[in-house]
Amino acid sequence: MIRYYSTNRRLDGVAGLKPFKGQVSFRDALIQGQAPDEGLFMPEPIPALSIDDILALRDAPYAEAALLVAQAFLKDALPRDVLKTIVEDSYNYDVPLERVCERMYVMRLDRGPTASFKDFAARMMARLMSRLRDRGKRLNVLVATSGDTGSAVGEAFKGVEGISVWILYPKNEVSGMQKKQLDTIGDNVLALSVDGKFDDCQNLVKQAFSDPGLSQFNLTSANSINFGRIMPQSVYYIYAYAQLASKGDEIVFSVPSGNFGNALGCEYARRMGLPVRMLVMPTNENDEFPNYLRTGVYEKVSPSRACLSNAMNVGHPSNLARFFDLYGGTVDRTGVVHVYPDLNEMRRRIFSVSISDQETKKTIRRVYEKYNILLEPHGAVGWKGLELYLEACCGPIAEPCVCLETAHPAKFPDEIIELLDVTPEVPRSMKDLDKRTGAPVELPADYGRLRSFLLGTLKGKD
């Protein structure tokens, strides 16, 4: 049986913290989101996949790779036919692997309903929550978002049985397109436009979670630290390997990184048995992690730096706690390192560099002119990081190298037009936005007002 423990379990004697020493089931980790000591849940043991099962996925639909991983983690929690329905329902869109040159590829994770890789995790998590919630009880998901996560989560839960979703976003901090994406989801998903900042939204959600007056409504979060979002993010690495590699090959992945949840999926895939030669984790100018690998000293970037690849503007990645734990260390939520991990081991397996905005733009231009491949800022950070890794290690290698493209270029029309003078083709999911209607509920950044609104609308039963 796989059980889930807290990354904070060893933090005895730290003021204000009571380490959670227990272990919980996948279901509890999924519904609770984080451990009672505010640590992150970690699976133990990590299940193993056989290389033959992985290679057998060649030419299979993506959902089959997802089923292999889901079964490895969840065979005690849900029967195979239920898992099969969940993955087929979650992954009804393409996952293109585009060859750039030699054995170098871009894997496009931007074909889901909100055109970002977050769709992969959110869609599977939503369906798992629906199946694993207590019978007869309605789950109410509360999320604070600065933009992309909220729409991915909202779309993922749309129409999912037994769950309602409330998305709080800062009124003046989302783009026009993001606002449209959030306001018009409809059905069981409601957007709340808060007259405040992203931090205000987060605080409102936190207050709601700790409010005993709301406890009968089964509130839960769907944020990026939920292990239910990490597990699905290990699937595309396995899928890519099966499509591109032959028996005996190793593979290199480059993952443009912010909160490190995506890269963590790769780290888990490797620990499940995928032959990953190197995990490249380029960041934007928020360079706390590449600096740590270089110097051995961790210092978060605070406040975080605003870069072009805006979904990666993170000064202390929330999933760093999991990476440190996997390499024998402990770092807490605030960025204090209690035990340093095995730095040499980390350096052997992970390569990280910081890519400036200027370099990001140059890369978008160069890759387009040289290879006719269109990248947006996040993917460009990934590509440049991959190139720098190959330069640092060895030059071109004979084994497959895959850079993840985490958003659709059409989400960044101004930058692309300015740099390349081409207008990115808009995917159907985004075209359909024009036809959608809907309005948010407007709220001040005031907990009393949120509370009375929730009391009037939440339902605790199905």
* CB closer to ligand PLP, 259 vs 360: 259
Q: Which of residues 242-261 bind ligand PLP (CB under 6 A)?
A: 256-261
Query: Cβ atoms within 10 A of the Cβ of 143, count?
Result: 23
Q: Which of residues 134-173 bind ligand PLP (CB under 6 A)?
A: 148
Cβ(149)–Cβ(177) under 8 Å? no
Per DSSP bridges, beta strands 276-280 and 251-254 are: parallel
Give least dist CB 376 to ligand PLP, A.
Answer: 8
What is the Cβ-side half-sphere exposure of residue 294, based on CA atoms within 13 angstroms?
Answer: 9
* CB closer to ligand PLP, 188 vs 352: 352
Give least dist CB 225 to ligand PLP, A.
Answer: 10
Q: How far apart are CA 338 and CA 144, in angstroms?
A: 29
* CB closer to ligand PLP, 217 vs 351: 351
Give least dist CB 346 to ligand PLP, A.
Answer: 17
Give least dist CB 149 to ligand PLP, A.
Answer: 7
Give least dist CB 358 to ligand PLP, A.
Answer: 19
* CB closer to ligand PLP, 74 vs 311: 311
378 binds ligand PLP (CB under 6 A): yes
Interface characters, 399-438, with ligand PLP (x: CB under 6 A): -------xx-------------------------------
* CB closer to ligand PLP, 133 vs 179: 179
Interface characters, 316-355, with ligand PLP (x: CB under 6 A): ----------------------------------------
* CB closer to ligand PLP, 118 vs 333: 118
Give least dist CB 91 to ligand PLP, A.
Answer: 18
Q: How many residues bind ligand PLP (CB under 6 A)?
A: 16
* CB closer to ligand PLP, 148 vs 285: 148
Give least dist CB 362 to ligand PLP, A.
Answer: 19
* CB closer to ligand PLP, 261 vs 329: 261
Q: Could you say which of 178, 262, 354, 429 contacts ligand PLP (CB under 6 A)?
A: 262
* CB closer to ligand PLP, 241 vs 260: 260
* CB closer to ligand PLP, 9 vs 111: 111
Q: What angle do CA 286, 224, 254 make, to 5 degrees?
A: 55
268 binds ligand PLP (CB under 6 A): no
Q: Which of residues 276-315 bind ligand PLP (CB under 6 A)?
A: 311-312
Give least dist CB 206 to ligand PLP, A.
Answer: 20
Give least dist CB 46 to ligand PLP, A.
Answer: 19
118 binds ligand PLP (CB under 6 A): yes
Give least dist CB 152 to ligand PLP, A.
Answer: 8
What is the Cβ-side half-sphere exposure of residue 377, based on CA atoms within 13 angstroms?
Answer: 26
Burial of residue 335 (CB within 10 Å: 0-12, 13-18, 19+) is middle
Q: How far apart are CA 56 and CA 136, in angstroms?
A: 40
230 binds ligand PLP (CB under 6 A): no
Q: How far apart are CA 53 and CA 356, in angstroms?
A: 40
Give least dist CB 378 to ligand PLP, A.
Answer: 4
Interface characters, 73-112, with ligand PLP (x: CB under 6 A): ----------------------------------------
- Residues of the shown chain interacting with ligand PLP in the complex, contacts defined by CB under 6 A: 116, 118, 148, 256-263, 311-312, 378, 406-407
